[in-house]
Structure 1
Amino acid sequence: MPPTVSSLDEFIATASQAWNPDEQMRKHTLPTGESVHCALWKGQFYITGTDIVRVVKARFYEAGIPIPFLRKFEEGIFSDLRNLKPGVDAVLELPRSEFLDFLFANGCIRTQKKQKVFLWSSVRHNMLFQV
């Protein structure tokens, strides 16, 4: 059975719960075929901006809403994410940091340039992911 929005909702609600000590990453396949990840790093749970874009795109895909200008769409999401500040809601990772290497190796990000990685609990999933 293909992934659905309800299985995505369940992943978002439960991904940061009940981890095994050897687990560092949880992955959910989206209806688009892409994956979204919940990463455990130094005792905190994170989601990348790239994964947030993937989830919002999947919501539009499921609703049958075309995204005519993908670049503008992504820019709008990243603009909304600017409200999440490093040190409070996110960490600002320097290029090729150990954390970015880990995220890149697991397909969570497309580039290892300096970027914010968001605390799972700080992202207002219910607001960002609404169609």
Structure 2
Amino acid sequence: MINILLGLVERLAHLDRLKFFLATAPSRWDTSNANASSSSSDPYLNMGMGMNAAHHPPAHPALNRFLLPNQEYVTCVLWNGLYHITGTDIVRALVFRFEAFGRPVRNMKRFEEGVFSNLRNLKPGQDATLEEPKSPFLDLLFKYQCVRTQKKQKVFYWFSVPHDRLFLDALERDLKLEKMGLEPTTQVVGEPAQSFICDDAFKSSLYEQFVTAAGAKTMRAT
């Protein structure tokens, strides 16, 4: 029981560090020792529970990376004066977020389809850049495992990605599937997911409920 609680605390602490990275990475840039190994130059590597990342490519001055427990990175990429994140890394962050929530992804293909459906709302020119196949930008992203393919694709502006909404929308999709007796893309295995209760009395989306609750909490605090 103690080990389970310690694991939960550790996951949630790592999640807090990821959220901090997603909120602050462009303002916490460190290009020193750009040619050194990622273990010495990555300002967020120490957030990765002391894991060894020696098998990853060396650090690059255009990349600011956060190491996840599974040894994958979520990367903030500076290109043409703008900060970016790939769809692949958005999914990686969400997958870890669900794991920390106690509801790991079991059907990755369908989970990704749902996330990328949401990401279609982010338009090129406003929220993303549309990169042509094997462009210099995609070449860099592919080399550092930020994308899985160099096919034509959107790369998203860092601050245009609504990470909280993507998480809540994915969770709501699975809750609706469960309610209909269908197989969700994630599975409840522990806390805090086991204790989570969705109030079906609300007609609004889970995200809208979250925003309303956050607003009420802010009002009480003031």
Q: TM-score, normalised by structure 2?
A: 0.55
**Alpha-carbon shift at residue 116 of structure 1 (Å):** 0.3
Give distance in 2, aligned partners of 1:32 and 1:6: 16
Give the superposition deviation at 1:67. Answer: 2.0
Tell me, what secondary structure is at the counterpart of 1:15?
Answer: helix
> Residue 91 of structure 1: CA displacement?
0.6
Unpaired stretches in structure 2, ≥5 consecutive residues: 1-9, 33-60, 172-222
> In structure 2, what is the equivalent of residue 6 of structure 1?
16
Give distance in 2, aligned partners of 1:119 and 1:17: 14
Q: 1:79 aligns with which of 109, 113, 117?
A: 117
- Sort the Cα spacing of 1:85 and 1:29 in 2 relative to 1 into closer, same or farther, 3 A: same
Asked whether 1:124 is paired with 2:162, we answer: yes
Note the aligned Cα RMSD (angstroms): 1.9
Question: The residue matched to 2:27 in structure 1 has which SS?
Answer: coil
- CA–CA distance in 2 between the matches of 1:25 and 1:15? 10
- Residue 13 of structure 1 deviates from its aligned partner by 1.2
Q: Which moved more, 1:63-72 or 1:16-25?
A: 16-25
Amino acid paired to 2:76 = C
Structure with the larger strand share: 1
Matched to 1:11, the amino acid is F
Which of residues 87, 93, 108 in structure 2 aligns to 1:55?
93
1:20 is displaced (CA, Å) by 5.1
* In structure 2, distance between residues paired with 1:128 and 1:76: 9
Q: Which digits, 9 at most, give the CA deviation of each residue in 1:14-38, with x for residues without a partner?
A: 1011435773100101133321000
Is 1:29 matched up with 2:39?
Answer: no
Mean Cα deviation higher: 95-104 or 26-35: 26-35
Choose which of 102, 105, 108 in structure 2 pairs with 1:70: 108
Q: Residues 67 and 42 of structure 1: is their aligned pair in 2 closer, same or farther, counting only changes over 3 Å? A: same
Identity %: 50
Unaligned runs of 5+ in 1: none
Which residue in the other structure is 2:29 paired with?
Answer: 19
- The aligned runs of 1:77-116 (5 Å cut-off) are 77-116=115-154
Bigger CA radius of gyration: 2
The 8 Å contact of residues 55 and 129 in structure 1, kept in 2 or not, is answered as no
Structure 1: how far apart are the matches of 2:85 and 2:79? 11
Measured at CA, do residues 35 and 18 of structure 1 come closer, stay the same or move farther in structure 2, by a change above 3 Å?
closer
Matched residue count: 131
Q: Between Structure 1 and Structure 2, which shows a larger proportion of helix residues?
A: 2
Q: Tell which deviates more after alignment, 1-10 or 32-41.
A: 1-10
SS of equivalent to 2:85: strand
